[in-house]
């Protein structure tokens, strides 16, 4: 018989029991102290359902503090999803129908399908009220309130929406807001709040987000931080109580002040539309020429002193308020349709055009800088040159021995030097600078600027801001193109160009702003502004400052002039060019500037001297692009001080013919208003409404 080991076995059993209980205690300790915080956080997300409160978005103001975009409280119809969940499909259909009728009757056309789509949208949380019709008549609240049996779960209440005080004005610039897409939301989830908030708090699905323009680029400033209430729910989703201690009130967004002047903006938009309308009324010189469609264009005004944007007009335009409450597919298609000439495009930064003769400023400046014109160049500045109307280029690489470049519009027989060549826009003068000047220089880099000598024209174009984005704080800007050998090869490799060969002819037509050269209106006006201020190339500014919300918000950040490049611009180079530009809008009897008639018609005060340049860019198959770029006032004494030019303007009209005929008058009328300090003050829609109601009241009281 074995020794009786019962006592030992009982001891072992007690020991095992103690070990097991020790394990329980250790695990309990681990879960409740070491893992406590992690698990507590999980527990809270388990039971807390966040309900977000919209934070008011910041306002957008112009440089004088006029409110361009504001928030407005409107009445909107919302539906409580938890209430209508109990309805069957027939009852739902009836409810939707009643809702659609009621909302439509109160002034907001609403379709049953739209309501259904909105309610079926899964991105709404269980405690959110789903908006089905925004901005309805307040009387609808009473109507629905009285019929709560027919409108189960339906409520009419206040909602804030974007309000565009000046209607369509500056629509492209301001941009618009819309509900965040799932893609955007997922991208934004990774952003952490500066105050350490949870990343998922930054945006909720159905939040509004800036989609274009200022609304998009200054989203971080404009957007407030949503408030959040935490509702404790049980496992079946029923609310238990609110955790008021966790409530976080919404933080309103900051106000964004723009550099634009809304009155100037209104003037620019009006004159742009008017200029295009006039162009459409004109007939081409020859019947076989393409008609003046004049469907689109752009006017940009900047302040040369600091590079701030004063106005930016693009035509055709659109009404940003259509984006409130979501835009329908048809509406969006209309905005992006070729038949409507893409109203959504901001042509001032997204339209790229051949600059035509307006580029001659660049060519002349480059020629002077490189010594192409001057004592050692092909001719001196005031060397007379007979413009015979065409230019024969002997070193032509084409099949024949010589190529002839004829000036399409300027007549032959004039004697020109550099200033006059600019004033009368002599193409042959600049053909010669391109052909005999730049093209025949050595194809190697002798002066160490990184570019071979025969491509120094392109180098100076790039130094004046062409070929790269200007860097204005607006989205989707295009960079345009300054063609050179490398660009040709690149385009050939991409299959865009048929040949990779850079010919002499390419440089020649580049000298007059034709060929593959593409610029945006903003780049164009910025280059002239750089010339006007003596060589400071600014990164254009549209943002002036950001202030905290409210009337007395403190300045959070202020944007000063941003100088990209300080170009050497000695007077002996600058004066002859400016002399030529100053001649463009006037006639001195012997030489008529290309834009003299436009300015004579307007009668701009002689004391306010304008330096400008017309441009007529040929476009394959359609009417010419009409351009005019100018700055002023030049050499004006104000209060005894020499003032710098304080405005630069570019006018670009697509398919509108001569720059002197179509674009120059637009610029002349705008500059005239500025010169006379006679810019009309536009009234915001609320001011208009106030006046209307005052008038109505007066009518009622008198009637």
- Told to check if 31 binds other proteins by CB under 8 A, we report yes
Compute the least distance from the CB of residue 683 to other proteins, in Å. 55
- Told to check if 384 binds other proteins by CB under 8 A, we report no
Nearest to 110 by CA among 91, 80, 135: 135
Pairing mode, if any, of strands 636-638 and 641-643?
antiparallel
What does the alpha-carbon distance between residue 577 and residue 419 come to, in Å, rounded to a whole number?
6
The only residue of 86, 89, 190, 236 in contact with other proteins, by rule CB under 8 A: 236
Q: Which helix (H) or strand (E) holds 689?
A: helix 685-702
Compute the least distance from the CB of residue 22 to other proteins, in Å. 10
- Told to check if 40 binds other proteins by CB under 8 A, we report yes
Neighbours of 513 (CB within 10 A): 28
- Told to check if 339 binds other proteins by CB under 8 A, we report no
Neighbours of 119 (CB within 10 A): 17
What does the alpha-carbon distance between residue 177 and residue 175 come to, in Å, rounded to a whole number?
7
**Complex with other proteins: residue 26 or 97, whichever CB lies closer:** 26
- Told to check if 42 binds other proteins by CB under 8 A, we report yes
**Complex with other proteins: residue 39 or 446, whichever CB lies closer:** 39
- Told to check if 93 binds other proteins by CB under 8 A, we report no
- Told to check if 83 binds other proteins by CB under 8 A, we report no
DSSP at 357: G
- Give the pair of three-digit tokens for residue 199: 């990343």
User: Residue 529: what are its φ and ψ, rounded to 5°?
Assistant: -65, -40
What does the alpha-carbon distance between residue 474 and residue 216 come to, in Å, rounded to a whole number?
8
The only residue of 94, 117, 191, 240 in contact with other proteins, by rule CB under 8 A: 240
The only residue of 2, 88, 498, 568 in contact with other proteins, by rule CB under 8 A: 2
Could you tell me which stretch among 24-32, 66-74, 540-548, 577-585 binds other proteins (CB under 8 A)? 24-32
User: Residue 178: what are its φ and ψ, rounded to 5°?
Assistant: -160, 170
The only residue of 128, 155, 184, 232 in contact with other proteins, by rule CB under 8 A: 232
What does the alpha-carbon distance between residue 206 and residue 589 come to, in Å, rounded to a whole number?
66
Compute the least distance from the CB of residue 125 to other proteins, in Å. 17
**Complex with other proteins: residue 7 or 495, whichever CB lies closer:** 7
- Give the pair of three-digit tokens for residue 454: 């025969």
**Complex with other proteins: residue 24 or 386, whichever CB lies closer:** 24
DSSP 157-178: EEEEEEEETTTTTTHHHH--EE
- Told to check if 388 binds other proteins by CB under 8 A, we report no
DSSP 174-237: H--EEEPPHHHHHHHTTPPPTT---GGGT--TT-EEE-SHHHHHTHHHH--B-EEEEEEE-TTS
Could you tell me which stretch among 21-29, 148-156, 275-283, 331-339 binds other proteins (CB under 8 A)? 21-29
Compute the least distance from the CB of residue 122 to other proteins, in Å. 22
- Told to check if 117 binds other proteins by CB under 8 A, we report no
- Told to check if 15 binds other proteins by CB under 8 A, we report no
- Told to check if 25 binds other proteins by CB under 8 A, we report yes
**Complex with other proteins: residue 49 or 449, whichever CB lies closer:** 49
Contacts with other proteins: how many residues (CB under 8 A)? 40
Could you tell me which stretch among 229-237, 413-421, 477-485, 594-602 binds other proteins (CB under 8 A)? 229-237
Q: How many residues does the chain have?
A: 703
User: Residue 168: what are its φ and ψ, rounded to 5°?
Assistant: -75, -10
| Contacts with 89 (C-beta within 8 Å, 6 or more apart), sequence order | none
- Told to check if 245 binds other proteins by CB under 8 A, we report no
Compute the least distance from the CB of residue 229 to other proteins, in Å. 16
The only residue of 234, 339, 552, 642 in contact with other proteins, by rule CB under 8 A: 234
Contact in structure between 561 and 459 (CB atoms under 8 Å)? no
**Complex with other proteins: residue 14 or 496, whichever CB lies closer:** 14
DSSP at 515: T
- Told to check if 639 binds other proteins by CB under 8 A, we report no
What does the alpha-carbon distance between residue 109 and residue 600 come to, in Å, rounded to a whole number?
51
Could you tell me which stretch among 16-24, 58-66, 379-387, 399-407 binds other proteins (CB under 8 A)? 16-24
DSSP 74-87: EEEEEEEHHHHTTS
Neighbours of 218 (CB within 10 A): 23
- Told to check if 238 binds other proteins by CB under 8 A, we report yes
Contact in structure between 387 and 410 (CB atoms under 8 Å)? yes
What does the alpha-carbon distance between residue 135 and residue 633 come to, in Å, rounded to a whole number?
47
Compute the least distance from the CB of residue 311 to other proteins, in Å. 58
Could you tell me which stretch among 5-13, 172-180, 479-487, 618-626 binds other proteins (CB under 8 A)? 5-13
Could you tell me which stretch among 43-51, 131-139, 167-175, 476-484 binds other proteins (CB under 8 A)? 43-51
User: Which stretches of the chain bind other proteins, using CB under 8 A?
Assistant: 1-2, 4-7, 9-10, 13-14, 16-17, 20-21, 23-25, 27-29, 31-33, 35-36, 38-40, 42-44, 46-47, 232-236, 238, 240
């Amino acid at each position: 018989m074995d020794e009786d080991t019962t006592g030992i076995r009982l001891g072992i059993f007690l020991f095992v029991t103690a070990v097991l209980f020790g394990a329980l205690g250790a695990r309990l300790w681990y879960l409740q102290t070491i893992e406590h915080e992690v698990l507590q956080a999980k527990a809270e997300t388990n039971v807390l359902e966040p309900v977000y409160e919209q934070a008011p978005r910041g306002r957008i103001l112009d440089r004088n503090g006029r409110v361009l975009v504001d928030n407005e409280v409107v009445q909107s119809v919302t539906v409580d999803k938890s209430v209508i969940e109990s309805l069957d499909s027939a009852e739902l259909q009836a409810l939707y129908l009643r809702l659609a009728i009621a909302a439509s009757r109160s002034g907001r056309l609403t379709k049953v399908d739209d309501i259904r789509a909105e309610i079926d949208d899964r991105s709404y949380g269980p405690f959110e009220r789903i908006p089905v019709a925004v901005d309805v008549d307040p009387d609808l609240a009473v109507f629905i309130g009285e019929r709560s049996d027919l409108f189960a779960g339906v409520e009419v209440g206040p909602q804030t929406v974007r309000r565009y005080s000046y209607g369509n004005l500056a629509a492209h610039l301001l941009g618009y807001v819309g509900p965040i897409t799932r893609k955007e939301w997922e991208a934004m989830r990774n952003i952490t709040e500066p105050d350490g908030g949870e990343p998922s708090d930054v945006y909720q699905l159905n939040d509004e987000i800036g989609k274009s323009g200022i609304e998009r680029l200054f989203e971080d400033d404009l957007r407030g931080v949503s408030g959040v209430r935490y509702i404790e729910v049980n496992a079946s989703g029923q609310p238990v109580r609110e955790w008021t201690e966790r409530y976080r009130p919404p933080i309103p967004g900051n106000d964004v002040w723009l550099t634009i002047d809304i009155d100037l903006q209104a003037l620019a938009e009006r004159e742009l539309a008017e200029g295009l309308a006039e162009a459409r009324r004109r007939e081409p010189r020859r019947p076989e020429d393409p008609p003046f469609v004049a469907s689109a264009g752009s006017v940009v005004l900047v302040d040369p002193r600091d590079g701030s944007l004063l106005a930016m007009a693009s035509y055709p335009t659109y009404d940003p308020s259509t984006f409130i409450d979501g835009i329908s597919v048809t509406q969006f298609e209309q905005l992006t349709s070729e038949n409507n000439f893409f109203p959504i495009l901001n042509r001032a930064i997204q339209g790229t055009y051949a600059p035509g003769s307006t580029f001659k400023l660049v060519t002349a400046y480059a020629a002077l800088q490189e010594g192409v014109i001057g004592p050692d160049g092909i001719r001196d500045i005031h060397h007379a040159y007979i413009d015979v109307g065409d230019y024969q280029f002997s070193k032509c690489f084409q099949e024949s021995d010589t190529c002839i470049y004829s000036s399409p519009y300027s007549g032959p027989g004039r004697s020109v030097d550099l200033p006059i060549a600019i004033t009368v826009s002599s193409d042959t003068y600049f053909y010669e600078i391109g052909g005999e000047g730049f093209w025949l220089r050595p194809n190697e880099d002798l002066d160490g600027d990184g570019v071979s000598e025969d491509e120094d024209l392109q180098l100076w174009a790039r130094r004046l801001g062409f070929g790269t984005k200007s860097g204005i704080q607006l989205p989707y800007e295009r960079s345009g193109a300054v063609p050179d050998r490398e660009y040709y090869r690149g385009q050939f490799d991409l299959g865009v160009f048929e040949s990779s060969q850079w010919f002499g002819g390419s440089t020649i037509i580049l000298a007059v702003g034709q060929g593959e050269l593409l610029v945006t209106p903003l780049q164009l006006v910025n280059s002239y502004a750089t010339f006007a201020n003596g060589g400071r190339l600014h990164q254009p500014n549209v943002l002036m400052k950001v202030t905290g919300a409210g009337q007395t918000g403190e300045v959070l950040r202020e944007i000063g002039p941003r100088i990209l490049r300080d170009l050497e611009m000695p007077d002996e180079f600058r004066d002859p060019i400016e002399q030529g530009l100053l001649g463009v809008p006037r006639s001195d009897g012997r030489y008529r500037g290309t834009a003299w008639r436009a300015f004579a018609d307007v009668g701009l005060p002689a004391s306010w001297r304008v330096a400008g340049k017309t441009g007529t860019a040929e476009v394959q198959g359609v009417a010419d692009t009409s351009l005019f770029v100018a700055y002023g006032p030049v050499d004006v004494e104000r209060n005894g001080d020499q003032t710098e030019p304080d405005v630069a303007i570019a006018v670009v009209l697509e398919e509108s013919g001569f720059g002197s005929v179509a674009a120059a008058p637009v610029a002349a009328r705008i500059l005239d208003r500025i010169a006379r300090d006679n810019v009309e003050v536009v009234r915001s829609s609320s001011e208009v409404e106030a006046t209307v109601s005052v008038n109505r009241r007066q009518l009622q009281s008198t009637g």
